[in-house]
Amino acid sequence: MSTAERAVETMSGSVTRIPAVGGMAVPYRWHVYFACVALALACNYVLGKDMAWDTLNYHLYLGFSALNDRFGQDYFAAGPLAYLNPYAYIPFYAMVRAGLPALVICSVLAAAHSIILWLTFELGVAVCPSTDRRTRVFAGSCAVALAFMNPILMQEIGSCFADITTAELALGGWLLLAGAVRVPRKSRVIYAGLILGAASALKLSNALSAVSAFAMLAMLPLGWRGKIRYGFLYGISVGIGFAGVAAPWSFRLAKVFGNPMFPMFNNIFRSPEFTMESMGNAYRFIPESIAEALWRPFAMINPAQMVHEELSAPDPRYAMLVLLVFLLILRWAWRRLDQASPPQSNPQLNESTRILAALGCGLGVHWILWLRVSGNSRYVLAMACVAAVVITGMLFRLFESRPKARNYTLAIIFVTQAVQLYMGAEYRWNGVPWGGQWFDVSVPEKLKTEPNLYLTLGTLSNSFLAPFLAKDSGFVNVAGGYTLDPDGANGARVRALIHRFSPNLRVVFVAAKPYENAEGPEPLPQVEDALLWFGLRPDMDDCATITVHGLPPELEIRYQTSLPREPQNRDTTYVATCRLVPDTADRSALIARQRAVNLVFDRLEDACPKLFQPRRLVSVHYGDVWRRIYGGTDIVAWVSHGRVKFRDQIRPHGVIDVGSESDWAKAPLRLDCGSRSGVYFAHIL
């Protein structure tokens, strides 16, 4: 009888227990599940609604884009993030579109997020070395508690981030593989591959879970030929699962951009509409040396920002895991020397130990890949839950004959983690009180019916406004974290949209107060500078204001490239939108100046390619300041008043001066540059 059939019988009342992965009946399973749901709901309610930067920039837009064909009218509407696989964000957008209250939406999401704790419980039961049912439930519950006390998991419960929901698929795949390690079955391996492939397609960071799961197959109780055969089946299944979920969206991307993974992997597919060098924040948390990588489990204890996530998320569990591995190795060595210890003969214990070893192998490979690729703990929530399971399994073995010592140790771990969470963790990116709908947007009636092409400025693209405007309107983020090149393939695409929508063209930017045409507002040089490359300028006598209530009063916007920060009303945000008209001003002097600063930036990038990534992006100007933004390393460099400078936009370590513009213009200079413990440095040799 299959697990699904047994589950149906349980719900109908014909049986009272369901066999776990470990092969034994587990009492109170549904009680634990309901407790997990209640815990997630309570956590979500206490922490409040999270109005994160990602929510406003691309989460709502991706769900909107998935259900509405936006390729013909939008272009980089949310910057490069506008083209991520959008299917995981459909439920969030659908609930927002249905007008459900924010608390209801968050509660639904929190209940769905609690499933990751269910899966953790099953794995915790499977690795328990005891044959006593209550002990196994206790082990699973301890694993759940350790997994829940992950500050990043708590941070995302009830939010619209897709990290938890896609991690649940990845963890479900690992649970199936754990069952295959106990009793090898092709069906379990195939289903695990399909699920992990689908999870990877929905969010590419889950590909680490799919790849590292190969290490679990090495623990199958089969010969090498059997392991290779199962590994082959698993690999094929991962590919099919990935292709099945990714294909509809990838087909559109390939048709429009020539890159089925656009904008990722553009160094392979080489679409002319995006940089072909590395792009993103992947370097932000990657260790710079082997010593730093080895120290990472202990560095994560520090309640500080920018350790393994942008927010403060102290997490001593990984240091405890390292300590437990060390103690188990010592115990194993002692028993090897002391031949008095009899070998285990209980096959049930051997099965649970094999599952624990398989999870440990997969976790070790996952950890190495993670540090090499990202180092960001938001992208490895499935691994974090596996770590909680492995810690639990090792504790129950280390103190197998001393349950009191085990319980005291668990109490110390829980208290330590709780103190860290209470004193140093940040639980919301931009928390706001409950009340009303998720988005409270007031749009002038004219903008609800008149289709316009909206050009947005700044890294925060304000693409969350797109569903509230006229259906056939278009969005283009021309200057943000990735500035579109007006003279390349980007410019050709934008000009085609401008021609199509003309004269219904508008610019969008955040303002300190409502714009009323009668006031005769002052011209905005930052807006004008960004638009003149496309032959447009704002008509400040034809403006309207979109009012948004409930946004954080000082929403943190990195790489601000449009307007200077101005105080906002604590409850109301004003988004101004002004009509655009043709601008026929002579740009020859500006073009000549851009060529001069491009030479300086190009030489700076070549002198220190490790810091300035990706290279050869568009140089933008605001007044007499020219700058380039390097999203790969979080650096902004600028030329102003004859000096060349740069700084880290994320870590406030000050401005670094790398010489005069005239020296760089004459000839390339040599730099001693790099990073020490996350702090950039550079000086001329």
How far is the C-alpha of 53 from the C-alpha of 450, rounded, in Å? 28
pLDDT tens per residue, range 275-290: 998 765 567 899 988 9
Task: Provide the token pair at 659.
Answer: 């010489």
The ranges assigned to domains in the chain are: 16-272+294-338+346-424, 440-585, 589-684
What's the whole-number mean pLDDT along residues 137-164?
Answer: 95
* pLDDT band at residue 237 using 50, 70 and 90 as cut-offs: very high
The H-or-E segment that residue 657 falls in is strand 655-660
Give the least confident one: 72-86, 133-147, 328-342, 585-599. 328-342
pLDDT at 17 (0 to 100): 44
Closest among 621, 640, 619, 639 to 629, alpha carbons compared: 619
Closest among 343, 350, 352, 389 to 128, alpha carbons compared: 352
pLDDT at 541 (0 to 100): 86
How far is the C-alpha of 597 from the C-alpha of 619, rounded, in Å? 8
* pLDDT band at residue 331 using 50, 70 and 90 as cut-offs: confident
pLDDT at 653 (0 to 100): 82
Length of the chain: 685
pLDDT at 281 (0 to 100): 53
What's the whole-number mean pLDDT along residues 397-402?
Answer: 88
pLDDT tens per residue, range 425-457: 999 888 888 888 899 999 999 999 999 999 998
* pLDDT band at residue 525 using 50, 70 and 90 as cut-offs: confident
625-630 vs 505-511, strand pairing mode: unpaired
Q: How far is it between the farthest Cα atoms of the chain?
A: 93
pLDDT at 339 (0 to 100): 61
8 A C-beta contact, residue 281 and residue 274 = no
How far is the C-alpha of 79 from the C-alpha of 483, rounded, in Å? 8
Task: Provide the token pair at 607.
Answer: 């002198």
How far is the C-alpha of 72 from the C-alpha of 54, rounded, in Å? 24
* pLDDT band at residue 329 using 50, 70 and 90 as cut-offs: confident
Three-class SS state of 645: strand
* pLDDT band at residue 519 using 50, 70 and 90 as cut-offs: low
pLDDT at 215 (0 to 100): 96
Task: Provide the token pair at 35.
Answer: 């407790």
Share of the chain above pLDDT 70, in %: 90
Give the least confident one: 6-20, 69-83, 265-279, 504-518. 6-20
What's the whole-number mean pLDDT along residues 593-613?
Answer: 93
Which residue type, as a one-letter code, is found at position 419? V
Give the least confident one: 254-258, 260-264, 355-359, 424-428. 424-428
How far is the C-alpha of 36 from the C-alpha of 479, rounded, in Å? 44
Please say if the pLDDT value at position 481 is more than 80.
no
pLDDT at 106 (0 to 100): 96
Residue 56 β-bridge partners = none
What's the whole-number mean pLDDT along residues 520-542?
Answer: 81
What's the whole-number mean pLDDT along residues 290-317?
Answer: 92
> Both ends of the chain: CA-CA distance in Å?
73
Please say if the pLDDT value at position 621 is more than 70.
yes
Task: Provide the token pair at 417.
Answer: 């983690």
Please say if the pLDDT value at position 558 is more than 80.
no
Return the top range by mean pLDDT from 209-213, 305-309, 570-574: 209-213
Please say if the pLDDT value at position 564 is more than 60.
no
* pLDDT band at residue 673 using 50, 70 and 90 as cut-offs: very high
Look at the block and give the residue holding tokens 């070790």.
Answer: 364
pLDDT at 244 (0 to 100): 96
* pLDDT band at residue 495 using 50, 70 and 90 as cut-offs: very high
Burial of 11 (0-12, 13-18, 19+ CB in 10 A): exposed
Please say if the pLDDT value at position 20 is more than 70.
no
Q: Which residues, 6+ apart, have CB-to-CB distance to 346 below 8 Å?
A: 131
* Distances 346 to 80, 129, 332, 335, 568 between C-alpha atoms, Å: 55, 10, 18, 18, 67
| Average pLDDT over the chain, rounded to an integer | 88
Task: Provide the token pair at 349.
Answer: 């214990």
163-182 and 186-202 helices, crossing angle to 10°: 160
The 3-state secondary structure of 460-495 reads CCCHHHHHHCCCCCEEEEEECCCCCCCCCHHHHHHH
Which segments of 429-571 are extended strands (E)? 431-432, 440-442, 453-457, 474-479, 505-511, 536-549
What's the whole-number mean pLDDT along residues 530-543?
Answer: 90
How far is the C-alpha of 238 from the C-alpha of 196, rounded, in Å? 6
What's the whole-number mean pLDDT along residues 7-34?
Answer: 57
8 A C-beta contact, residue 226 and residue 193 = no
620-622 vs 474-479, strand pairing mode: unpaired
Look at the block and give the residue holding tokens 């290279």.
Answer: 615
How far is the C-alpha of 310 from the C-alpha of 306, rounded, in Å? 5
8 A C-beta contact, residue 423 and residue 90 = no
How far is the C-alpha of 125 from the C-alpha of 139, rounded, in Å? 6
Task: Provide the token pair at 225.
Answer: 């030929």
Task: Provide the token pair at 373.
Answer: 């690729």
